Each structure stands twice: as C-alpha cells, then as structure tokens.
Amino acid sequence: MENNKIAVGLDIGTTKIVAMIGRKNEYDKIEVVGIGKAKSLGVKRGVVSNITQTIQSIQQAVDEAESVSGFKIENVVVGIAGQHIRSLHHSDYITRDNADEVIEETDIDDLVNQVHKLVMLPGEEIIHVLPQEFKVDSQADIKEPIGMYGGRLEANFHVVVGQVSSIRNIGRCVKSAGLDLSEITLEPLASAQAVLSQEEKEAGVALIDIGGGTTDLAIFKDGIIRHTAVIPFGGNVITDDIKEGCSIIEKQAELLKIKFGSAWPGENKETEIVSIPGLRGREPKEITLKNLSKIIHARVQEIIEHVFLEIKNYGHDTAKGKLIAGIVLTGGGSQLKHLRQLVEYITGMDARIGFPNEHLAGDSDEALSSPSYATAVGLLMEGLDKDVKVVEEAVEEQIEEEISTSPEEELKPLIEEKVKPKKKSFFEKFTEGLKDFLDNAE
C-alpha cells in the first residue's frame, strides 16, 4: 500500500508552472515518474492575475506529466507565495482543566486552534501556525511538551498570513483545471524541505529562493522555522532592467541574462561585445558585457539587500540568532554567474547553491536537480509525507464492502482501525474548508 503511493507537486510560479509526479522507492528516496512544465502567463509576482491563462497552463503541465508517466493526476499539493504573504510572532497559552494528567496532543491542538482564532486584518487568512518553543508552567524552552505534567501550557508561534482572495484564486484555478487540492503549502517552506539538511536547520540557515516574480526567504535555527518573508522582486525585474537599459525586446533580454549575464561587473573587459539583431529592417545593436553586468549587478544588489534586511530583522546580529550555516541560494535566479560571490560580499555570510538532489533517487534525471525545481520537489515531498488520508479512505471503502458481505466478527479489526485515524492537521482542515467554499461557489 505504502510503496505505491503517488503524489503530485504543482508549483504555480511566475515564469513556469511545473507538475511533478513521484513516489518513494525502497530506500525512501523520491523517484520522479513524470514531470510537465508550461510557460506561466497568468501569474504576476507570485499572484494569479489571469485565471483563464493560469488554468490553461496548469492543464498543459499536468497533461504533459500524465503522458510522460502514464499516471492519471487527481489531487495535487500546491505552493503559495506572493507579496501578500507576511509572517508574525505570537505567543498564547491555555490553562488545562486537570493538571494531574499529562499533556497530550489534544492540548497542543487546542492551543493551535486558539491561535487560529486571532483576528487578522480584513481580507487576510492564517495559512500556517507553526509552534516554536513551549513553556509548561514556568519552565521555558521545551521542544516537546507531550507527556509532561503542568497546568498552564504556553507557546511561541510563527504565524504565516496571506490574502484570502489570492488563496481562493489559486484554489479556483486548480479546481477548474479538473484537479483536487490536497494541500496548500508556503513555497519557501517547500523549497527548504527539498534543499536544506537537518544540520543546517539546527545550526541556523537562511534559504533564499530567487524565482521569476518573487524572492522567498525562510530562516531556520535550532531545527525550527523562525522567519519567512516573500519579497516581490525576482529574476523578471532583472530582465526588465536589461530590456530598458539596452532598448531590446524581452526575449532577447532574457537570453542575454542567461547566456552572458554576471552579477559581478569587475570581470568583463570593455572590449567584450554582443551584437543583437535589430527589429525588422533596423541596424543590429551592440551591447558591451560590462554594461550588461552593471545593470544586473545593480538590481541583484537591491534584491540581496532587501533579503539581508529581513535576515537582520530576524536577529542574525545577536549571539542567540546567529545563522552559522549562512545562506543557501536556490530557485532559477540562483543560477546567475557569480551570484554566490556577490551574496557573500554583501552579507559577509557563507553561501552555497542549493540543489534538490539529496532526496531524489540516484538514477534521477540530471535536469531535475536544477535549483529551478526546488519548490516542485519540496511540494512533492510534502504530498508523499501525507499518506494518512489515502490509507484512511481505503479502509473506509473496505468497510463498506465488508458490511454488505460479512458477519460482525470480521468487521471488528477494520472498524477499530477506522476509529483511530491520525488527526488532521489544522492545515488539512483549512484546505477542506477551502474546498467546501469552492464547491459552494460553483
């Protein structure tokens, strides 16, 4: 049962939409059985701006993945990003009725559900509530309070908030493309799952995922997510600047950036020139690589400084918050030449490029371990870890069949198995709420 579980990650990005189908092999690594990608036309800065086009692109990516893999895709795990995402810290407590009983999972759920009742700004909704440390009575810094005695349970939470309308638009697109939404996850969290090691999360690390429309940041320390942010610039603003600065069309600007672009202007000589064909009947344009890298450098520097400000706001300068493992860069934008050196120069932190290959099976396609697929791999991992639901549904069907044929006795173990389902995370409840909302809106 477990081994044949197929999951699908759907990364709805600003430049591309990727559908990735995979399963776990016997070594617990991920085997990608199919991948489809489509140009994303209806998404601006991580937010859906044209529903019809986004639906078409999703269908195109899904069809391609289906034909490559031979599997039919029904439900997907989707990532959410965009400039409307913000995160805040909040601490809350509950007083337990009976301090003589040990703290159980249900107490933590009560606490998490209480945080979910926080009043947000109009039009905002809580996406994730992630507990950080707990405090039982007056004992602080507890990682895992289950099984302890105590009357007052308190916790610090990392709360991620997003715009209701943007979340619903994504849900709407997925549904209209004929798919079910099994879960929505914050994209920086998905990318982090794909490219960071446990040691890095313990030591303290900042993951910077430079996409086409947004740059996502996730900061971990002591193995716990500490800060998330979505900055509304990405690779596309670099392309736009090249387009404006050199007076060329976007397609040419994008090619220039990928083929000749560098984030470090020092290395190009004045004499290195690229000639670009002019538009119909016009003279070709000559562009010096030095100018090109100056344009790129200025914009990349701005993006990095934005991110570095967030890292400092989190408290990297303090002894307690120091990120020992430095920075991991991923996403399509991380493939820019000399970006790592520039990041190290501006921030004074160590940096490496993050490839999502650690969790992929050994014989996976080279292309899959490109940083541009980090989010898709992370969403796929998220889907594969959520195998409880599938098992539950299977048991339910079995019970229905058995009821029609068999006596009480045979039913017992099945019913007992059914009585103790794994608890739904708040997030699954939220996703179900969203599904109901979309169904009613039809």
DSSP letter for 270, please. Answer: T
Long-range contacts of 103-110 (CB under 8 A, 24+ apart): 103/136, 103/145, 103/146, 103/147, 103/148, 103/149, 103/150, 103/153, 104/146, 105/146, 105/423, 107/145, 107/153, 108/145, 108/146, 108/153, 108/155, 109/423, 109/426
- Radius of gyration of the chain from Cα atoms? 24
Query: What whole-number distance in Å separates Cα of residue 80 and Cα of residue 82?
Result: 7
Nearest to 96 by CA among 83, 108, 80, 113: 108
Residues 6+ apart with CB under 8 A from 35: 18, 19, 20, 21, 64, 65, 68, 368, 373, 376
Residues of the chain with pLDDT under 50: 1-2, 388-395, 399, 401-408, 410-423
Phi, psi of 392 (to 5 degrees): -60, -45
| Burial class of residue 105 in the structure, from the number of CB atoms within 10 Å of its CB (0-12 exposed, 13-18 middle, 19+ buried) | exposed
- Domains of the chain are 198-354 (3.30.420.40)
H or E segment and range at residue 298 = helix 289-314
Which pLDDT belongs to residue 434?
66
Query: What whole-number distance in Å separates Cα of residue 268 and Cα of residue 295?
Result: 13
Query: What whole-number distance in Å separates Cα of residue 114 and Cα of residue 205?
Result: 30
What end-to-end distance do the CA atoms of the chain give, in Å?
34
Residues 6+ apart with CB under 8 A from 333: 210, 211, 212, 215, 234, 235, 238, 339
Which pLDDT belongs to residue 3?
55
Phi, psi of 130 (to 5 degrees): -115, 110
Nearest to 83 by CA among 19, 189, 161: 161
Residues 6+ apart with CB under 8 A from 378: 9, 79, 185, 187, 189, 190, 191, 192, 193, 194, 195, 356
